[in-house]
Structure 1
Amino acid sequence: MKRLALVALAGIVLAGCGDGDIDRARKAAAYHLKDPESAQFRNDRVVGKDGTVCGEVNGKNSLGAYVGFSKYVALRKDDGSYMALVDADGQSSLVSSTCD
């Protein structure tokens, strides 16, 4: 009985190891940065039932300095992957209308 409980617990823990919507959206947003490995995220959230993700991303420039947080929106495609738009200058109406 203890063994069965342990196996069930391990299954529950491992089930959470896959990439969720926010993880896949973060990868899509980081792709647009000069140094994707340096990406920092905050305020990530899923908006709507279609899996759209909004948040803010920060990354390093060519000189290795962080440039400051920019808003991003990531839209889920039919295959479950994401495409993202990073609004570095605050002018994107898509990001504003979807996330604000």
Structure 2
Amino acid sequence: MKKLALSLIVISLAGCSTPPRPAPAKPLILYRYPMNENTVLLAHTMASYDLKDPDSAKFRDTFFVTSDGRGEARDKSKDSWCIEINGKNSYGAYTGFSWALLPAGGRSVIMGNSPAGAVASQLCASAIYPPAG
């Protein structure tokens, strides 16, 4: 009987232990790199394609974004494009600047005012310049 009681106590205590906590995830750092003039024009054309009035689009910032911080030695095939754009709505008024993202290898632009736009805004707005050197 004593062995049974001792076994029950050990089993119940073993169930009370808390599992170890996983290490916190390392934050993703995104770096921004400049585009040449021709690529900027292409990015602007692609980002304004689905706007109601593409010819009236205004642009404020356009750059490559990637998690590779190696500068010119980075794998450029993994670069996404960030474009900050202000377009007109159906009433002819500007809606305010928002981010558009063309993911690496993608063929479509994720606009800041779309359902996935929060992701585009977060990625583009959080990009930093790579360390010098």
The TM-score with structure 1 as length reference comes to 0.62
Q: Distance in 1 between matches of 2:94 and 2:100?
A: 16
Partners of 1:34 and 1:61 within 8 A in 2: yes
Where does 1:34-73 land on structure 2 (aligned, <5 Å)? 34-48=52-66, 49=76, 50-73=78-101
Where does 1:1-100 land on structure 2 (aligned, <5 Å)? 19-20=38-39, 22-48=40-66, 49=76, 50-77=78-105, 82-88=107-113, 92-96=117-121, 98-99=123-124, 100=126
1:85 corresponds to which letter in structure 2? I
**Which residue number in structure 2 is paired with residue 11 of structure 1?**
none
Larger Cα-atom Rg:
2
Where does structure 2 lack aligned partners over 5 or more consecutive residues?
A: 1-35, 67-75, 127-133
Q: Distance in 2 between matches of 1:35 and 1:52?
A: 25
Distance 1:89 1:77, change over 3 A: closer
Give identity over the alignment, percent.
35
| Aligned-CA RMSD value | 2.7
Where does structure 1 lack aligned partners over 5 or more consecutive residues?
A: 1-15
The TM-score with structure 2 as length reference comes to 0.49
Deviating more after overlay: 83-92 vs 55-64: 83-92
Partners of 1:33 and 1:59 within 8 A in 2: yes
